[in-house]
Structure 1
Amino acid sequence: MAVHKLILEDVFNEVSYTLIGIHCTIEDYRVAYLLNKYLGINLVRSKEDLDFKNSKSNYAFFEWEDKKHLTTWSLVSNICKREEARDIDLKSLFKTQEQITKTFNLIPEYRQVNYFLKIDNEYNYTKEKSILNRILNIPQIVTAYTVDASQLKSKDNLIFY
């Protein structure tokens, strides 16, 4: 009896979304507000942040589902800063601790990017240039550009819920 083997690797590795990296230093809720205003969308903060590595890092997450165009817009923070206490051994009778700040990145390949805007469309139809130009017109945003998601090593971190 013949054995048939199905190879589905190419089907699931296909990238069907647009990913835009955003550089700015303002708070996450202000970025969401400005994107809503300039792009005409309605991003809303999720009740729970994205949680990675057993609560070692949390990333702010905003999402909006455009049912008319079958598009899901997601804004996620790329940087998480967390303070941790570390014991210092000074060879003395008492133990001392110091506070250190650790920085975690959702996408480590792009450490300098503050936020990612993921536009997931079932029909792979987005006006990428138009969206990018409108984002670049926002005065508080330093720069924004399209990221090739197929080249990312940590693209699994971009699978939300």
Structure 2
Amino acid sequence: MATTYKINDDFYDESFSLIALHTTLEDFSLAYGLNQSIKAKFVRAKKNFNLAENKSFPIFEWDDEFNDMYWVLIANHSSEKELVMHDDLFKNETTYKRHRLLPEYKDVDYLLKIETEKDFDTNSLIKNILMLPRMMAAYEISTDKLKSKNNLIF
């Protein structure tokens, strides 16, 4: 009798909350603002998160050992410089190609990922985040229906 093995492609089944942030702040300013408003300690990671070749996303992280939580602030977009060769008026024009970490949320500027095993009140966190200057919107994203969930494995 032959044995059949099935491979489960859903390897990543970790519990986390995901908050979408819409802001005009730069990544370092946003990390500083979050450090001030929610008493976080985000620090810039030594390396960017590389999703694929020429797809690099700046990342800030905070390992909250007291509450047993791991926080990640990451940009949802990155720009790639591309040199386009033409034989017309605009020779050797430089263009920028934008890549998204979560393509289904193309308008989101930053993502705040909170990994924890405990229940976490995201509503009070979102209220504190919305008090930051130049923060236009913040809301929780349901991770169950997320198509590109594998892009969030850091």
- Contact 1:81-1:101 within 8 A present in 2 as well: yes
| Equivalent position to 1:101, from 96, 102, 111 | 96
Q: What does residue range 137-148 of structure 1 map to in structure 2 within 5 Å?
A: 137-148=131-142
Which has the larger share of helix? Answer: 1
| Equivalent position to 1:113, from 102, 108, 111 | 108
Deviation at 1:15, TM superposition (A): 4.9
Number of the residue aligned with 1:93: none
Deviation at 1:156, TM superposition (A): 0.6
- Contact 2:55-2:99 within 8 A present in 1 as well: yes
Number of the residue aligned with 1:60: 58
Number of the residue aligned with 1:153: 147
Higher mean displacement: 81-90 or 125-134:
81-90
Q: Deviations over 1:92-112 (max 9, x none)?
A: xxxx31111111111100011
- Contact 1:59-1:78 within 8 A present in 2 as well: yes
Number of the residue aligned with 1:30: 29
Paired with 1:51 and 1:14, the residues of 2 have a C-alpha distance of 21
Paired with 1:32 and 1:42, the residues of 2 have a C-alpha distance of 8
- Contact 2:12-2:150 within 8 A present in 1 as well: no
- Identity across matched positions, percent: 35
Q: Which runs of 5+ in 1 are unaligned?
A: 91-95
Q: What does residue range 115-130 of structure 1 map to in structure 2 within 5 Å?
A: 115-121=110-116, 123-130=117-124
Higher mean displacement: 135-144 or 27-36:
135-144
Paired with 1:3 and 1:81, the residues of 2 have a C-alpha distance of 48
Structure-2 change in CA distance of 1:66 and 1:3 (3 Å): same
Deviation at 1:2, TM superposition (A): 9.3
List structure 1 runs of 4+ shifted beyond 3 angstroms. Answer: 1-10, 12-15
- Contact 2:75-2:109 within 8 A present in 1 as well: yes
Paired with 2:71 and 2:38, the residues of 1 have a C-alpha distance of 11
Report the TM-score when normalising by structure 2.
0.89
- Contact 2:77-2:101 within 8 A present in 1 as well: yes
Deviation at 1:153, TM superposition (A): 1.0
Deviation at 1:52, TM superposition (A): 2.1
Flag the structure with larger Rg: 1
Structure-2 change in CA distance of 1:51 and 1:137 (3 Å): same
Q: Deviations over 1:114-138 (max 9, x none)?
A: 00000000x2321211111111111
Deviation at 1:140, TM superposition (A): 1.9
